A and B are shown apart, each in its own frame.
Chain A
């Protein structure tokens, strides 16, 4: 089977869906002839023409607002926000409009649409090209929030997102765009949203993670194994709606849990996982849940490698809960 990078897998998913369904329309800043600043949309304008893949003016609220309009009137918009850090002008359109449309119209109007955007650190982008804003959006009823961590998942989940009847925020870990490679089938396939992926089986400690933290946790788990700790690593991949049963099963299995994300800790996604476990599986727990996260500060530049959870920090937490 072919081996693709995560970035190529995203591009392949877009090509696949655009070939199959002519309603699929891609737009955003620099996504046209240039193919996007990361080249995720490379070749789309060339293959499908300017009407189906095009550049927009620099207006995120316009992009997402127009996507809602396209979605209610027969197209399947897949818009790109160049960096997740620049999504905030569109916050109103996402939170007040796309996410609430089905509810407020009793299902008369819906917004099947995808917002793709690269997120996360590791590229020396400083405060505004590094953020992980998933918690803002996972707090939004009506929205789905998806984050792949492998090329295979990126393609299958993006296709599922495009086919989904509800608005999906598809966060792409830009640190992994070119650094992970994997086998990706040709043609259409999809991976059900709201399913988790078991990255590694283990019986001592369970680590929940997603996006660019998955390879970090895998490495930490391998190191922990050298010291005799078997770690169960779970990639959550859809943050909203979450497969709560899978999370609880994995927590019960070891009774020792670490949650890892790049985003700040306070009110971060790890708090939700921790609360879920506290409410439903406390009797199985042998140790307090540990969170390994970005600090509760803006994202720094020169010291980003200290800000982002790394193998060192994850391993320390695994050892900490294992020996509690």
Chain B
């Protein structure tokens, strides 16, 4: 592995940090991390009680998400994976809007068409609609970066993906194009140790992931992914290079998935308990807390206030989303095209007619297995 950028010292101080985040921003980062945890916690409960079908936990990778988001502007273009919603929260996406997606209701931006955790925002942050197929969004990030440059803007694209994502064709195409075009894009590989049940060691034979940058003609940086300041600095540096016309960077954030792949996965079947224990000591939220404490920005009172605020906000969001009606039949047919074509209009009319004559369809009880 290339040398790993770390900011936090064992005592919680960070003397080498470039100071890109002021006190207010630091506390905001911490709050976002707590919000991610609160959102995860409630989703786990909602899933276990059968009120939503599925969710993806983020425990362990919060510093990578939030550290990256805090180094970028809301007007930059985020191309996220399904384990990245902390980036959207950080730039002001509302938990309630995310909850609408978790429940797949009429107020979901995707009108309940997408599986849960497949968020999409344009405002207050450009958070590209999430697709399940791994790696398909990486060339999109390159194209968007090219477009920003062609249109004379200084926006960058952030392409975020997992260690598993580096094996997709999209990864190789995207890095190659970005290198050749010198596109203003930042590739953020979140090496969280696992791709479902496959350990990172089975994903690549190379010495880590950052080293892959060399072959595509761009800088590769390894950063401690559980160290928010280190991630902020690495992404900030890459953004500066990108905005300055120096092209793309590949960043490997070395972190750890501290839970299952999803609510349908049982990691105890394949994750060694010792490994989890080892990483629990490097919990990114605790490390950030220690730093804030050391810097005089944190005390128990603040902790309690933030925890209560976050728990209340997500609980309220879940309440609102659960009470929101489901999508109407019409949403099956809209948004396929800008203008509804005749054949779809007919199919819709037949569906409405049948629902009227024979009643609605039974909602199946299918639980998502992965």
The residues of A with any CB-CB pair to B shorter than 8 Å are 29-30, 32-34, 37-38, 55, 57-59, 61-62, 82, 85-86, 88-89, 122-129, 174-175, 265-266, 295-298, 300-307, 310, 312-313, 315-316
| In the complex, B363 has a CB within 8 A of chain A | yes
Distance between B357 CB and nearest chain A CB, rounded to angstroms: 8
Q: A30-B197, A301-B104 given; name 11 further pairs at CB < 8 Å.
A: A33-B270, A34-B197, A37-B196, A55-B198, A125-B115, A129-B368, A296-B336, A298-B336, A302-B112, A305-B362, A316-B358
Q: In whole angstroms, what is the CA distance A312 to B350 when docked?
A: 13
A55 contacts B169, C-beta separation under 8 Å: no
9 tightest A-B contacts by CB?
A: A126-B115, A302-B112, A128-B132, A57-B167, A34-B197, A302-B104, A58-B164, A123-B366, A58-B167
Interface pair B196/A29, CB less than 8 Å apart: yes
- Contact, CB under 8 Å: A313 / B354: yes
Q: Which residue of B lies closest to A130 (CB)?
A: B115
The closest CB in chain A to the CB of B327 belongs to A302
10 sampled A-B residue pairs with Cβ under 8 A: A55-B198, A59-B167, A88-B133, A124-B367, A128-B132, A128-B133, A129-B370, A265-B347, A303-B327, A306-B351
Q: Is B295 an interface residue (CB 8 A)?
A: no
Tell me which residues across on chain B come within 8 A of A302, comparing CB atoms.
104-105, 112-113, 326-327
What are the residues of chain A within 8 A of B198 when measuring CB–CB?
29-30, 55, 57-58
Chain A contacts for B269, CB-based, 8 A: 34
Q: Is the CB of B112 within 8 A of A301?
A: yes
Closest to A293 in B: B347
Report whether A306 and B115 are in contact in the complex, using a CB–CB cutoff of 8 Å.
Answer: no
Interface-central residue, B104, B203, B363, B364, by most chain A CB under 10 Å: B364
User: Which residue on chain A has the smallest CB distance to residue B131?
Assistant: A128
Q: How far is the CB of A45 from chain B (nearest CB, A)?
A: 11
Q: Is there contact, CB below 8 Å, between B367 and A127?
A: no
B115 to chain A, nearest CB (A): 3
Which one of B343, B360, B370 lies within 8 Å of A37 (CB-CB)?
B370
Q: Are B54 and A124 in contact (CB under 8 A)?
A: yes
Q: Does B272 contact A (CB under 8 A)?
A: no
Q: Is the beta-carbon distance between A301 and B114 smaller than 8 angstroms?
A: yes
User: Is B366 within 8 A of A127, CB to CB?
Assistant: no
Query: Does B367 contact A123, Cβ atoms closer than 8 Å?
Result: yes
Judge whether B118 and A123 touch: CB under 8 Å.
Answer: no
Which residues of chain A come closer than 8 Å to B343, judged between CB atoms?
Answer: 266, 296
Q: Of A82, A266, A304, which is within 8 A of B364 by CB?
A: A304
Distance of B270 from chain A, by nearest CB (Å): 6
Contact residues of B between 97 and 124, Cβ < 8 Å to A: 104-105, 112-115, 118
In the complex, the number of residue pairs spanning A and B with C-beta atoms less than 8 Å apart equals 151
Knowing A30-B196, A62-B167, the reply to whether A126 touches B370 (Cβ < 8 A) is no
Cβ-defined contact, A300 with B331, below 8 A: yes
Contact of A55 among B197, B329, B367 (CB under 8 A): B197
In the bound complex, CA of A61 to CA of B368 (Å): 25
Chain B residues near A61 (CB-CB < 8 A): 169
B324 to A: closest C-beta gap in Å: 11
The answer to whether B329 touches A303, judged by C-beta atoms less than 8 angstroms apart, is yes
Q: Is there a chain A Cβ closer than 8 Å to B57's Cβ?
A: no
Q: Which residues of A contact B54 (CB under 8 A)?
A: 124
Q: Which of B164-186 contact A (CB under 8 A)?
A: 164-165, 167-169
Q: Are A58 and B195 in contact (CB under 8 A)?
A: yes
Chain B residue numbers with a CB within 8 Å of A129 are 115, 132, 368, 370
Set of chain B residues within 8 Å of A58, measured between Cβ atoms = 134-135, 164-165, 167-168, 195, 198, 203
A57 to B195, alpha carbons, bound, how many Å? 9
Query: Closest B-chain residue to A82, C-beta based?
Result: B370
**Which residue of chain B has the shortest Cβ distance to A312 in the bound complex?**
B358
- Of residues 331 through 361 on chain B, the ones whose CB sits less than 8 Å from some CB of chain A are 331-333, 336, 343-344, 347-348, 351, 354-355, 357-361
Docked Cα-Cα span, A129 to B262, in Å, equals 14
Q: Assess whether A125 is in contact with B362, with CB atoms less than 8 Å apart.
A: no
Interface centre among B112, B366, B370, by most chain A C-beta atoms within 10 angstroms, is B366
List the A side residues contacting B169 at CB < 8 Å: 59, 61, 89
Cβ-defined partner of B113 (8 Å) among A29, A37, A127: A127
B284 an interface residue at 8 Å Cβ cutoff? no
From A58, A175, A315, name the one whose CB has the most chain B CB atoms within 10 angstroms.
A58
Known: A59-B168, A62-B167, A313-B354. A297 touches B329 (CB 8 A): no
**Residue B53 is within 8 A (CB to CB) of chain A in the complex:** yes
A17 to chain B, nearest CB (A): 24
A265 contacts which chain B residues (CB < 8 A)? Answer: 347
**Interchain nearest-CB distance for B189 vs A (Å):** 13
CB-CB under 8 A from B357, the residues of chain A are 316
Q: Nearest residue in A to B341 (C-beta to C-beta)?
A: A296
Q: Mark B126-166, 1 if CB is under 8 A from A, else 0.
A: 00000111110000000000000000000000000000110
Contact A300 B112 (CB under 8 A): yes
Render B190-204 as a binary contact track against A, CB cut-off 8 A, 1 for contact: 000001111000111
CB-defined contacts of B367 to chain A, threshold 8 Å: 123-124
Instruction: Report chain A residues within 8 Å CB of B202.
Output: 55, 57
- Within the complex, the shortest CB–CB distance from B100 to chain A, in Å, comes to 11
Q: Which of B105, B131, B359 interacts with A312 by CB under 8 Å?
A: B359
- How far does the alpha carbon of A55 sit from the alpha carbon of B270 in the complex, in Å? 13
In this assembly, does B15 line the interface, its C-beta being within 8 Å of a C-beta of chain A?
no
CA distance A307 to B360 in the complex (A): 11
The complex places the Cα of A34 from the Cα of B113 at a distance, in Å, of: 30
Residue of A nearest to B333 (CB): A297
Cβ < 8 Å to A, chain B residues 68-125: 104-105, 112-115, 118
Q: Is the CB of B329 within 8 A of A306?
A: yes
Contact A307 B197 (CB under 8 A): no
Given contacts A55-B197, A295-B344, A295-B351, contact A301 B364 (CB under 8 A): no
The reply to whether A128 and B115 contact each other, CB–CB distance below 8 Å, is yes
